[in-house]
């Protein structure tokens, strides 16, 4: 399940492979992704040069030389496989979008669960000024701070776990990294958001950045479901401290507690009841 580090990795892979390439053909095998692929998706891409790839939260924004923006979200199970011109292209089940360039590079969007989408914005639309980017919370590595977090948590009665998952509070965190950041900060997932103290917010920001940095360095996450943008398996397995470790011993030094799993807002939360207060 791609969160910020995985999306960052995919985005970098696409940038390296596709930037400055001119699109020669586009095939959309399924238009009914999380959102229906617009009718003009293909025509907006074909014949144009791709000039920019950037990530915002869990979204990838692609721009062409006409200033047209394409938005890619990997959902739960989205992957991008990139083929150089010498590699044989073997299409598989759930390959929904295939983009080829004049130089023979191919990008394949693959998404079994179809929770993700790949679409084009209307002509003249600036991605920063449309939903969900307009309302999106701070970008972790670009101006996020304890002050910003505290401001967003003000008056919120929801538990801190759910607030950190909220993309309006901070962009890019998902279930795995929120569980990890809470554990690393020593903050219980059950705490009311509005009760979080400044020192705790500082720890949450610092821990999140630390974990995200290490996960990006490792090339994204780790779940069996994930593949690197270039299609090569073999992600370095980042060792989670709490996520998926129900019943196992807490990794904090000297802590003998077992990791608990609870459900919050329909999502699993893993935490140590001794270390997290």
Whether the upstream peptide bond of residue 132 has omega within 30° of 0, thus cis, is yes
8 contacts DNA (rule: CB under 7 A) = no
User: Per DSSP, what are the bridge partners of residue 7?
Assistant: none
For residues 59-76, one letter each, b for 16 or more C-beta atoms within 10 angstroms of the residue's C-beta and e for the rest, the string is bbbbbbeeebbbbbbbbb
Judged by CB under 7 A, the residue of 131, 142, 253, 254 near DNA is: 131
How are beta strands 95-101 and 106-110 bridged, if at all? Answer: antiparallel
| CA nearest neighbour of 178 among 141, 202, 205 | 205
Kindly state the number of chain residues that form the binding site for DNA, as judged by CB under 7 A.
36
CA 159, 204, 180: angle at the middle one, nearest 5?
80
d(CA 220, CA 207): 17
**CB 223, min distance to DNA, A:** 8
Q: Is residue 114 a contact residue for DNA (CB under 7 A)?
A: yes
User: Cβ of 156: how many Cβ atoms within 10 Å?
Assistant: 17
Give yes or no for residue 10 binding DNA (CB under 7 A): no
Angle at 170 between CA 165 and CA 172, to 5 degrees: 70
Closest approach of Cβ 57 to DNA, in Å? 6
Token output for 70: 């394409």
Helix (H) or strand (E) holding 207: helix 198-217
Catalytic residue, from 12, 55, 56, 58: name it: 58
Catalytic annotation on 140?
Answer: no
CB of 94 to DNA, least distance (A): 6
| Pairwise CA distance, residues 182 & 205, whole Å | 10
Using the minimum distance from each CB to DNA, give the nearer residue, 115 or 141: 115
Rank residues 19 and 264 by Cβ distance to DNA and give the closer one. Answer: 264
Has 58 been annotated as catalytic? yes
Site string for DNA, 139-178 (x = CB under 7 A): ----------------xxxx---x--x-x------xxx--
Site string for DNA, 41-80 (x = CB under 7 A): ----------------xxx-------------x-xxx---
- The distance of closest approach from Cβ of residue 90 to DNA in the complex, given in angstroms and rounded to an integer, is 16
The residues that are catalytic are 2-3, 58, 267
Residues binding DNA (CB under 7 A): 1, 3, 32, 34, 57-59, 73, 75-77, 93-94, 112-115, 131-132, 155-158, 162, 165, 167, 174-176, 193, 224, 263, 265-268
């Amino acid at each position: 399940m791609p969160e910020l580090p995985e999306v960052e990795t995919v985005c970098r892979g696409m940038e390296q492979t596709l930037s400055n390439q001119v699109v020669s053909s586009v095939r959309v095998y399924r238009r009914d992704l999380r959102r229906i692929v617009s009718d003009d998706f293909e025509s907006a891409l074909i014949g144009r040069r791709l000039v920019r790839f950037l990530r915002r939260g869990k979204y990838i924004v692609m721009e062409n030389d006409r200033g047209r923006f394409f938005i890619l979200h990997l959902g739960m199970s989205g992957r991008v496989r990139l083929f150089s011109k010498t590699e044989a292209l073997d299409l598989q089940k759930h390959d929904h979008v295939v983009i080829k360039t004049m130089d023979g590079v191919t990008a394949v969007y693959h998404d079994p669960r179809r929770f993700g989408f790949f679409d084009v914005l209307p002509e003249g639309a600036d991605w920063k000024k449309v939903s969900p980017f307009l309302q999106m919370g701070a970008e972790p590595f670009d101006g996020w701070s304890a002050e910003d977090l505290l401001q967003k948590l003000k008056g919120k009665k929801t538990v801190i776990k759910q607030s950190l998952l909220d993309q309006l509070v901070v962009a890019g965190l998902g279930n795995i990294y929120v569980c990890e950041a809470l554990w690393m900060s020593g903050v219980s997932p059950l705490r009311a958001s509005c009760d979080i103290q400044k020192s705790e917010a500082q720890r949450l920001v610092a821990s999140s950045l630390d974990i995200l940095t290490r996960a990006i360095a490792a090339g994204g996450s780790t779940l069996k479901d994930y593949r690197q943008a270039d299609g090569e398996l073999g992600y370095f397995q980042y060792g989670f401290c709490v996520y998926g470790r129900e019943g196992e011993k807490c990794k904090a030094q000297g802590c003998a507690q077992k990791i608990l799993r609870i459900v919050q807002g329909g999502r699993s939360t893993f935490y140590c009841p001794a270390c997290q207060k």
